[in-house]
Structure 1
Amino acid sequence: MSEQKTYEGRCFCGAVQLSVSGDPAGMGYCHCGSCRSWSAGPVNAFTLWNPAAVRVTRGVEHIGTYNLTPNSYRKWCKNCGGHLFTEHPGMGLTDVYAATIPGFPFEAGVHVHYQESRLRMKDGLPKMKDLPAEMGGSGVLVAE
């Protein structure tokens, strides 16, 4: 029996700490306007996990939640404003921002919502118009 690897993460000030265990369901870059606005950057690096693999280990009382739509519950630290993760109940996944778990060996496999990109990335990875079909998107690829 193999032991699951666990990676530790935290908000900007460290008041909220979390861990992720095992392997993510997926990793990549999101270019949608919501992620760009929330992250205050041109692209967001994501890691998608089964919710049972994500555990807040300290500071749950400091976590704030915002949801623009019922598809995404964005979590942040109420002390420092540091972003933590987003729960996607419709997909049954939790997106822990790659920057939140610095020791995790992030390896992107896809770009989603690439048609909205403000920062073109020529890295040879698949570029999705929106989301893969199995996640409720069209599954359509767009040019790099």
Structure 2
Amino acid sequence: MCETEEKNQYQGACLCGGIQYAVSKIEDRMAHCHCSMCRKFHGAAFATFGEAKKENFQWLCGEELIRVYEGTNGTKRLFCSVCGSSLVFVPSNDSGRFVEFSLGTLDTPIPQRPDAHIFTQYSADWYEITDDLPQFLNGRDGKE
């Protein structure tokens, strides 16, 4: 049985529902990541992640189902061991202040919208970015 938390206005889960989480406040910064690891892990042209301060993110149930894949570059990807849903991305230089979670796993609507495309130098050749969001060859600190 999952915990419930009244103060959390946003909730999400993996595909099978075994892992559930809540977020009380989502930060404004969110991006579509086109790196090859995100593309492969999500099986899509890009992955979209939002951020929450660690104190604003809470696992409600299913933490025992979480597995971690660590890439050769030191990044970590948390996913459900039952259904494979990608849930959280942890950068190699993680400060522990933020949780980057997959927006595709949210079950409640949010007011924020993605504000950038990152790691576009690795974009799938079969996908064309057609919106007006800023595009960064690497992370946000990289060249536009």
State TM-score, norm by structure 1. Answer: 0.83
Give the 3-state SS of the residue equivalent to 2:104 in structure 1: helix
105-114 vs 33-42, which deviates more?
A: 105-114
Give runs of aligned pairs for residues 21-36 of structure 1, distance below 5 A: 21-36=24-39
Q: Which has the higher contact order (CA 8 A, sep 6+)?
A: 2
Give the equivalent residue in structure 2 for 1:117.
123
Q: For the residues of structure 2 that align with 1:31 and 1:108, how far apart are their CA atoms? A: 13
Structure 1 pair 68–46 and aligned structure 2 pair: CA distance change class (3 A): same
Give the equivalent residue in structure 2 for 1:136.
none
67-76 vs 40-49, which deviates more?
A: 67-76
1:78 to 77, 81, 94: 81
31-40 vs 64-73, which deviates more?
A: 64-73
Structure 1 pair 87–54 and aligned structure 2 pair: CA distance change class (3 A): farther
Which ranges in structure 2 are unaligned for 5 or more consecutive residues?
Answer: 1-6
Following superposition, the deviation at residue 81 of structure 1 comes to 1.5
Which ranges in structure 1 are unaligned for 5 or more consecutive residues?
Answer: 134-138
Give runs of aligned pairs for residues 121-136 of structure 1, distance below 5 A: 121-133=129-141
Contact 2:75/2:89 (CA < 8 Å) preserved in 1?
A: yes
Following superposition, the deviation at residue 85 of structure 1 comes to 1.1
Q: For the residues of structure 2 that align with 1:68 and 1:31, how far apart are their CA atoms? A: 16
Give the length in aligned residue pairs. 133
Question: How large is the Cα RMSD of the aligned pairs?
Answer: 1.8
* Percent of residue pairs bearing the same amino acid type: 25
Q: For the residues of structure 2 that align with 1:31 and 1:89, how far apart are their CA atoms? A: 17
Q: For the residues of structure 1 that align with 2:121 and 2:90, how far apart are their CA atoms? A: 23
Contact 2:26/2:50 (CA < 8 Å) preserved in 1?
A: no
State TM-score, norm by structure 2. Answer: 0.83
Deviations 1:31-88 (A, max 9, x none): 0001001101111111122222221110111111111146422111112222211223
Contact 1:16/1:62 (CA < 8 Å) preserved in 2?
A: yes
Contact 1:88/1:94 (CA < 8 Å) preserved in 2?
A: no
Contact 2:50/2:100 (CA < 8 Å) preserved in 1?
A: yes
